[in-house]
Each structure stands twice: as C-alpha cells, then as structure tokens.
Amino acid sequence: MSLSDYRERVSRRGNSLSETIITNSKISSSSQFLNSPFLQEIMIEGKPVSAVVTQGKTSSDKSVLLQPDSIATIGSVVEINSNSYIMTDFKFEGINEIYPTGTLKICNSLFPIQTNETRVLLRDEFGIVVTDERGRPVYTTEIVAITTPCIVQSRYSFTSSEKQITLPDGRIEIVIKYTVSENLREGYEFEMYGENYMIANIDPTGVIDSKGILVISAERKV
C-alpha cells in the first residue's frame, strides 16, 4: 500500500496519521511484549505486574520494560524474586509510551520509618504470666518498628548523574520511598548494621506531588 493510500484510509477512520501509527505501534509492541520468552511477574507496590526484566549497568541495578501505556511511580518498591528494589527513574513519555521503562536499584537494608510502643504481658521462660506480690499481672513495653526497604550507601553519594561524590568517613546515605513519618527529622537516632546513627539532613528534591524518593544523610554516633 502506498503512503497516499494509507493516509486516505486513516483519514476515513477519523484519526490523524501520526495517531494511527502510534496506536499500531503500541498494538504490535504489546503483542511482542506478551509473547516474550523473558516475560515474568513482578510486584510493584504489592500489585502483580507483567514485565521484561534486564540487567542494568551493575549487578545491583535492573531495568524493567512494561506493557505500552503502563504508568509507575518513581520511589515505588518493586519485588523481583526474593529481592526488593526502589524505582529510581521511570520513562513513559514520547517513544516510552510504547516502551515504558523503569530503572531499579537493589535495596540492601531496612529503615525504621515508624516505631510503636506496645504494652504486653510479661511472661517467664515457660510462657507463664508474671504477677506482682498482689497477684496482678505485670506488663512491659515492647517497641515495634515498621520498616521500609532502603538503599544504603557508605562510599559514594546517591546522584542521578554519572559523577561519583565520595562520602566523608562515618557518614551514610539512605534512599527510601517518599513517606511521612515522625522519625524522618533531623536529629532522629537509629541503629543500622550494629552501629548508631543520627539523621543530619533529608533531601526532598526527588519528591514531586508527594511522590518520589528521599535521600537521608546520617552521621555515625561516637
């Protein structure tokens, strides 16, 4: 079919040539995507999603190709096999309408975004409730931490550019999904890798419309 014949057929359908080309490309890409031998199910924010996963620049990085017109959010926690990742970038405009692509970095720790105190019965080694001299049950307070997967870096600063910035000794950077928590404040102390740290700074520049990533700078307590 000549280009003029194709234009005429598209015109009869009431669509522009460019819109029809994009639509046809999406249909073709979707068919190839669904029939890919590398298609697998991953979890994005707890929801199953079909994706083609490829290795990134390093062993800790991955790239995920989603079905045309798919939308994901930077900062999303992604589960692939038994590992957690944070989506640090997502391209979905222009040509990426047809090939939506996310960049993932593997999580290597958990950050306590919230700590709750719970009053529980004190029990002895046999599981029997401990009582006081009057026979009243004795309670104790347990601290329960709610954690989120995070990326911890102690050598180089997290940056979207290719340039590596060396971190000072005793300082770490933690990348987490944007969230609101009382623990996310300067001066908050927490334990990681058996050492005590204090939040020195929180960089929110990776957050847009309450979505994205936070970069936490923390100093080791001495």
Q: What pLDDT was estimated at residue 47?
A: 95
Distance of CA 198 to the CA centre of its chain: 23
Tokens of 51: 């994706």
Q: Looking at per-residue confidence, does 74 or 3 come out higher? A: 74
Q: Tally Cβ neighbours within 10 Å of residue 190.
A: 18
Fold of 3-106: Thrombin, subunit H (2.40.10)
Q: Mean pLDDT over all residues of the chain?
A: 85
* Whole-number pLDDT of residue 2: 46
pTM of structure: 0.77
pLDDT over 90 (residue 64): yes
- The string of DSSP codes covering 157-189 is ---SSS---BPPTTEEEEEEE----TT-STT-E
Provide the pLDDT for residue 51.
Answer: 95
Question: In the predicted model, is pLDDT for residue 214 greater than 70?
Answer: yes
| Percent of the chain whose pLDDT exceeds 90 | 48
- The more confident residue out of 59 and 157 is 59
Of residues 148 and 11, more confidently modeled = 148
What is the per-residue pLDDT across 136-189, written as a single tens digit (0 to 9) for each?
998 888 777 789 999 998 876 665 545 566 676 788 999 999 999 888 999 999
Strands 139-153 and 83-91: unpaired
The CATH 2.40.10 domain(s) of the chain lie at 3-106
Residue 192 has pLDDT above 60, yes or no: yes
